[in-house]
Structures are given as structure tokens and as C-alpha cells.
Structure 1
Amino acid sequence: MVDVDAAVVADGSPADQAWHLLRDQADVGWVIAGKLLARKRPRLLPVYDRVVRCALGSPPSFWLDLHAALGEDGAALYRRLLELRQAAGLPETVSALRVCDVVWMSHRALGHACR
């Protein structure tokens, strides 16, 4: 995600269109749609589910906000995620976004109640 133009994850982009198409299917809500896309494009699309929403709130565009955050300060957040991956002994095949997903899960593990 850090290496692409913001337009790739902006409203109306193919990724956004795919999310809407999935979400609009019977028995596929916003969480399942997002997790399917994150699984399909693990280096481009992050998981945004109830735990992440609980931790971060509901930004107008989670993808765009995270894209901006990953590139701020010379990509400091992105580099920190790579450091966490290395410290955990994970292979380079695990994307920075997947490391970020695990960090969100610590929110629940710390006892925060998410709805």
C-alpha cells in the first residue's frame, strides 16, 4: 500500500468498486467484504473490521487514511511495521499490512470491548 498512488485505494477505484460489489451480496457485510479483499491483496488492502473500528473509529476513508499514515515522516510507520515483523521472526512474505492487522488484534487482547 505504501508504494502505490492514493488513487489505487480511493473512492471509485477498482478496489473500492470490488468492496461495494462484495458488500452488496447476500450474507456478505462490510467486514467479510473487507477481509476477502485483504486476503486477495495482502500488500495493498488492510483488514478493517470491528476490532480496527473499535481501536481507530470510523474515518471517512480508512484505506486513504492508512495510506497517508504509512507514507508520513519518511514512511516511519511503514518502517516500524517492518521492524516489528523482523523482531517477531516473520518471513518477508508477511506484508507490513498483515503485521498491522496483528497489532490491531492486540487491542482486543488488552481487554478493550469492541462491538
Structure 2
Amino acid sequence: MTLPDILSADRTNEAAALLKKYYTKLYDLGVPQSGSRFDDWAGGGDRPNAVDTLTADDVLAVSFLCVQVPAQAVIGLLERSAKEVSELLAQIPSALDLASVKTEEYEALLGPESAAIGLWRLLRGNGKLWGIGPTTASKIMARKRPRLIPIFDSVVGPLMGHTTPEGQWKTWHSVLTDGSGLQQRLRSIKTESGIDKDISELRTMDVVLWMHGKEQGMKVIEDSGHDDLAN
């Protein structure tokens, strides 16, 4: 695919400004945009003592990105299915960047039979009506594996050529590994922004695209039920 122009080499300064605005602008009562705390709330979703466990803090952090995990799903995932969630998380690398996944490793890590897709299916309810849509599921997974799993929503998805999550992981992997230097640009964007946040390259890319899309007038559409897989 052709990357959105905001991620081109000659717009690094503009992208850095968008990233800085997202993380530093103060709103009513002098508080930052809630999404700016998604990454590090309660130490982050991939902190050592919770890296393979879905916690109440993770659910709360996901709400900072303007989605809600339905109460029935919270109970199901944190109690009834907690062991299964943890077993799947333990099989998904927490210290691996999507850009570092080799082509020959992709299917095992993110393909249809992978633990990542197993977790996606579980979050989506395995056909049950838990009410977790693809955007919410992607944000839960991005909270737990911020270096490996991108977020899908109605702004960033279309900018990356996807109106549903189907195939979007592979698209992100492709653009990060096609030799165009995107990974290095994302690092430069973060450095130039001057933000004091330990965020992943995926999160840098997500925020830049989301801010760009919003400034272009793209609308946030409420999360809805799609059964498409993200790989």
C-alpha cells in the first residue's frame, strides 16, 4: 500500500508536532487528553508483574481511548476466562517489535493458527455476544503487546487501507519491513517531538495517523461487531 503522506520523510517535523500535541496539550481542568495515559497507566500493560495477565487496570486504560469493555465481558475475561487469556498471552512475545518479525516468522506469530489470533477470538467472544467489537479488542491487545499489535479504528484503519480489521496486521508489518525506512522515521518523529514517554513505534505511528485523520475531518465511528480477523 501507499503510506499516508504524513509519514513521508519530508513531513517528519509535522508528524512530530502532532505527536507532541497529543501527549502534551492540556484540556479542561488542566488535564491531558485521556489517551495520553493509555500507554503508561499503572505501569503499562506489559509491565513485568502483569505482562501475561489481563487486569482491571488494563480495562480502565482501554477506556482512556474512548471505548468501553462491557461489564459482562470484563467479568468473563478477568474471572471465567482468566487462565485461558494468560495462557495465550504467555505465547505472544512481549519484547518483540512488529518491524523485527521476519517474514518466515509471521505466520507462527500472527497468522490464523497463532496465539495472537486465538486471543483475538477470545476477546471477541468466540461467537458469544460479549459485545467487544474489533476496535476494543485491538486496543486491549495493544495495551498488552504495544510493540507488536497495532490498533484498529475508524480513523487509522482507513488511512492504512482497511475499513475492517481483516488483514491489517499484515499491512502494518509490510510497511514496517519493506525497506522504506519507516521504522527509523518513527523513531525520529518520537525524538523530535520531545515527549517524555516510553512509547512503541506502533503507538507513535498510531497517534500520528489518528491526529492527522482527525485534523482532516475523519469521524470516529462507534465500535461495532465485525467477525473479521486482524491478521
Out of 112, 119, 135, the position equivalent to 1:18 is 119
1:6 corresponding residue in structure 2: 106
Per-residue displacement from partner, 1:30-88 (whole Å, max 9, x unpaired)?
Answer: 11111000011000101111112232332741101111210111x61111111111111
2:136 corresponding residue in structure 1: 32
2:160 corresponding residue in structure 1: 56
- Let me know the Cα RMSD of the aligned residues: 1.9
Taking the aligned partners of 1:81 and 1:91, their CA distance within structure 2 comes to 15
Task: Return the offset for 1:113.
Answer: 3.6
Over 6 Å off, 4+ runs: none
Aligned pair count reads 114
Aligned ranges for residues 38-49 of structure 1 at < 5 Å? 38-49=142-153
Question: Which runs of 5 or more structure 2 residues have no equivalent in the other structure?
Answer: 1-97, 222-231
- The one-letter code matched in structure 1 to 2:216 is L
Higher mean C-alpha deviation, range 37-46 or range 99-108:
99-108
Task: Return the offset for 1:109.
Answer: 2.1
Task: Return the offset for 1:91.
Answer: 4.7
Instruction: Report % sequence identity.
Output: 32
Q: Which structure has more helix as a fraction of its residues? A: 1
1:72 corresponding residue in structure 2: 178
- The one-letter code matched in structure 2 to 1:2 is A
Task: Return the offset for 1:101.
Answer: 1.0
Question: Could you tell me the TM-score, scaled by structure 2's length?
Answer: 0.45
**CA contact 2:186–2:204 (8 Å) conserved in 1:** yes
Out of 183, 186, 193, the position equivalent to 1:81 is 186
The question of 1:94 aligning with 2:199 is answered yes
**CA contact 1:54–1:114 (8 Å) conserved in 2:** no
**CA contact 1:51–1:107 (8 Å) conserved in 2:** yes
Question: Which runs of 5 or more structure 1 residues have no equivalent in the other structure?
Answer: none
